[in-house]
C-alpha cells in the first residue's frame, strides 16, 4: 500500500467523509449575508473554528478542504487552523485551483485555471500541514454542451494538477462536476457524466497518476433542476452506481460525492441509497459543503457567540451523513 493510498483511505474510510469548507471569500460572503452576518475575516474564521472544534470532527470527518485564507489563520486559542483539524484526527486539505474562467472559443463553457506556479504553492501548503488538495472542473449540460473541447481541456488540467499534487506528497481530489442546472433528463446527465469521467481517467493514466492515491469527487446522476421528469431517489442510486462502475478504474480507492445544490436531506438520502445498493468495491462517502453546513450556519447566525447550539446542529448533520455512507441512515433518525 502506497503512502498516498494510506492518506486517501484515512480520509474516506470507517464512515468518515470530507467537510468542504473551501468556499472562496466571495462565496462565503454570499452565504453569510444571506443569514445577515457581516463577512469579515474574523467572522469567517469564527464560524469555521466552531465547526472544526466540534465533537463530530473526531467521529465523522476524515478531512477538511480549506481555502487559502483559512489555512493561514490562527484560532482564538492560538492554534493554527491545520493544527486544530489534525488534533481531531482529521487531515487538512486545500483548494488549489484559482477558479473556473470562460473557455476560449466556447463562450458559455468554463476551464479551471491555476496550473501556473502550482508546484511552488503545493510546497508551501505541504509545509502548512495540508495532505490532500482539491481542483474542481465544471461542465454545463445543454443541447450542444458539454463540448468535446471543454471535456478534453478540463480533463487535461485535472490530470496535470493531480500529477503535481502527487509529486508533492499529497492526495489529489479529482472533481469533475456536471452541473445540475438545466432541464435535462437524468439519462442525459448519465451520458454526459460518464463521458466526462472516462476522459478524466484517460488523461490521469496518460500523466502516470497513481490511481490508488486519488479521491474522485463526482456529481450524482440527477435530473436537471428545471426538469419536469424527476427520477426517484432509488433511481438516482442505481444510475449513479452504474455510471461509476462503467467509468472508474478499480484501483481508485473511493468516491466522495459533492452535494451539488441538493438539500441536506436529499444529499443524505441519496448517499444512503447508493450505499445500500452499492455492488462495487469503491468506498462511497461524502464531500459536502452546504449539505453539511447550512443548518449549522442558520443556527449560528441567531447568535454568533453560541458555540454549543451550532455544534449540536453540525454534529447531528455529520452523524447523519456518516450513517448514510454506511447505508445505515433512516429518516426517523433525523429528529434531533
Q: Which residues are catalytic?
A: 175, 217
Which cell is 7 given? 492518506
Q: Which of 242, 218, 217, 216 lies closest to 231 in space, CA to CA?
A: 242
Q: Which three cell numbers stand for residue 157?
A: 488540467
Grid coordinates standing for 323?
A: 450513517
In this structure, the strands spanning 254-257 and 283-288 are parallel
How many CA atoms lie less than 13 Å away from 220 in the CB half-sphere? 32
Amino acid at each position: 500500500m502506497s503512502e498516498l493510498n494510506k492518506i486517501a483511505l484515512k480520509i474516506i474510510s470507517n464512515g468518515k467523509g470530507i467537510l468542504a469548507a473551501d468556499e472562496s471569500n466571495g462565496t462565503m460572503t454570499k452565504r453569510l449575508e444571506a443569514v445577515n452576518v457581516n463577512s469579515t475575516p474574523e467572522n469567517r474564521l469564527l464560524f469555521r473554528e466552531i465547526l472544526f472544534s466540534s465533537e463530530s470532527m473526531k467521529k465523522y470527518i476524515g478531512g477538511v478542504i480549506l481555502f487559502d485564507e483559512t489555512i493561514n489563520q490562527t484560532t482564538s486559542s492560538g492554534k493554527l487552523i491545520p493544527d486544530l483539524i489534525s488534533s481531531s484526527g482529521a487531515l487538512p486539505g486545500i483548494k488549489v485551483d484559482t477558479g473556473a474562467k470562460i473557455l476560449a472559443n466556447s463562450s458559455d463553457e468554463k476551464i479551471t485555471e491555476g496550473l501556473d506556479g502550482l508546484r511552488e504553492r503545493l510546497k508551501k501548503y505541504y509545509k502548512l500541514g495540508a495532505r490532500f488538495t482539491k481542483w474542481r472542473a465544471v461542465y454545463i449540460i445543454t443541447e450542444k454542451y458539454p463540448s468535446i473541447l471543454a471535456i478534453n481541456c478540463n480533463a487535461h488540467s485535472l490530470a496535470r494538477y493531480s500529477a503535481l499534487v502527487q509529486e508533492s506528497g499529497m492526495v489529489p481530489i479529482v472533481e469533475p462536476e456536471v452541473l445540475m442546472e438545466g432541464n435535462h433528463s437524468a439519462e442525459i446527465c448519465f451520458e454526459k457524466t460518464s463521458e466526462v469521467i472516462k476522459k478524466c481517467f484517460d488523461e490521469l493514466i496518460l500523466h502516470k497518476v497513481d490511481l490508488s492515491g486519488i479521491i474522485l469527487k463526482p456529481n450524482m446522476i440527477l435530473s436537471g433542476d428545471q426538469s419536469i421528469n424527476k427520477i426517484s431517489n432509488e433511481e438516482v442510486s442505481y444510475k449513479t452506481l452504474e455510471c461509476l462502475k462503467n467509468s472508474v478504474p478499480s484501483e481508485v480507492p473511493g468516491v466522495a460525492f459533492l452535494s451539488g445544490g441538493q438539500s441536506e436531506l436529499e444529499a443524505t438520502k441519496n448517499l444512503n441509497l447508493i450505499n445500500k445498493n452499492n455492488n462495487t468495491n469503491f468506498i462511497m462517502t461524502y464531500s459536502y459543503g452546504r449539505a453539511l453546513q447550512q443548518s449549522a450556519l442558520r443556527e449560528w447566525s441567531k447568535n454568533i457567540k453560541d458555540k454549543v447550539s451550532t455544534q449540536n446542529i453540525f454534529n447531528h448533520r455529520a452523524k447523519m451523513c456518516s450513517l448514510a455512507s454506511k447505508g445505515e441512515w433512516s429518516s426517523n433518525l433525523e429528529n434531533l
